[in-house]
Every structure is written in structure tokens, then in C-alpha cells.
Amino acid sequence: MSNTTQYKLVYFNLRTLGEPIRMLFKYMQIQFEDVRIDPAEWQGQVRTSCKWLKVPELHTTDSNGKTYCLTQTSAICRYLANSYPTFELMPTDPLDQARCDMIVDAVQDFRMRMKPYIVAKYFDPEGCSKLSQLKKELLDDEFWIYLKNMDQILEEERGDFICGEKVRWADFFLANFTAIWEEIFDDENLLKAYENLKKQQQAVESLPKIQEWIKQREYTKI
């Protein structure tokens, strides 16, 4: 991969699915254009200009001027990890690769499950009335199973990260979402019973380049 490749990330002014990609760029110190769409402008031409009517999109231009538009967050993350092997963000062991995919897919499943709660909390002016019931349904039902299973996957490894002592691409994804979950449920003790998840989040946030990025980035609720 040429280091003259240019990157443009298109996403909303949110952390959610854009942030794991931004963190990868920041960790590897690779320049990228961080385009943030105003949600008010999303409907209409901005939306239809997106290949699959969804963001994130990663536009790349290589040193020969060839351009690509990549979609699907985990595909973009894996592409970046594979493009710069010196950072060892893509594990070589197939089991570790599966561990990364398993965690990221579980987070994505739960993200979909949470959508009604997020819409009620942040995007529906009348959502307040439904919020406590939706929160109860999520927390009483599946959420703890997801947290417990992910915590156990981390427990199997002797290190702070998903695959042990070395940070991998999926670590940015997981740490981003556990931090968001603590905030959207207004509960800084959400991970108290899931020590391995908390340790993983803190290990990612303590990486010097990530620490620097967290200090400088604009705060967004999700």
C-alpha cells in the first residue's frame, strides 16, 4: 500500500460507526479528510449521493489516481488494518481473526437492537415517555448476555486487548461502543461487573495517539 494514498471519510458528526475508523487513522498517524455531514442535510441529495444510502463511506485515491468508494464499517476497518501490516492490527492467527469478527458482529447486532432506544433518546422530541420502558427491556433482557459473553472472550486472553497483549483493529470498535453505552444509559458503572471490558476500554483509551485524539476531538453524544 502506497503511503501516498489519499483518504476521505464521510460520516455524520457522531462517534458511532465513524469513530473506529477515525481511531485507526489516528493510531497509525495516517492523514485523512474527516467529512462530517450535518443530519439536517442528510435527506435528499446528500443521502442519494451515497452508494448504499448509508454512511460511513471511505473514498480512497491511490498514487495512480484510481479511486474507490468503500462501505461497511468493519470492511473498512479490516481494509485499513490489512493495508498497513507494520502496525499488526490484523492478527495472523485465524482464531484471533475470528475473535475480532465475533466481537464486532456482536456489537453490531446489539447496536441494531438499541436503535429504538437511541431514536427515543436523541432524535424523537416525544421519545422521553418511552425511554424508561425501552431501557428496562434492553437491560433486563439481552444486554447483560452480550456484555457477559464479550467479557468472557476477553477473559480467555491474558492481556488487555481482544487478542491478548497486542491492540488489534477490533479493539477500537469495541472500546468506542462500550464508552458510548456507558453514556447513553447514563451509567458510568455499567461495566462494573465486566472488568475485562472496562480494562480493554481503558487500554485503548490510554494508547498515546488515542489519548491525544480523545482530548482534541469534538465531543458528540453518540
Ligand X SMILES: N[C@@H](CCC(=O)N[C@@H](CS)C(=O)NCC(=O)O)C(=O)O
Q: Footprint of ligand X on this chain (CB under 6 A)?
A: 16-17, 47, 53-56, 72-73
Burial 55-92 (b: 16+ CB within 10 A, else e): bbbbbbeeeeeeeeebebbbebbbbbbebbeebebbbe
Q: Which is nearer to ligand X, 52 or 219 (CB)?
A: 52
CA geometry: angle 59, 65, 67, nearest 5 deg: 30
Closest distance to ligand X from the beta carbon of 170 (Å):
13
Closest distance to ligand X from the beta carbon of 43 (Å):
8
Closest distance to ligand X from the beta carbon of 73 (Å):
4
Strand partners, 34: 9
Contacts of 179 (CB under 8 A, 6+ apart): 201, 205
Q: Which is nearer to ligand X, 56 or 91 (CB)?
A: 56
Closest distance to ligand X from the beta carbon of 123 (Å):
11
Q: Which is nearer to ligand X, 12 or 161 (CB)?
A: 12
Q: Which is nearer to ligand X, 21 or 90 (CB)?
A: 21
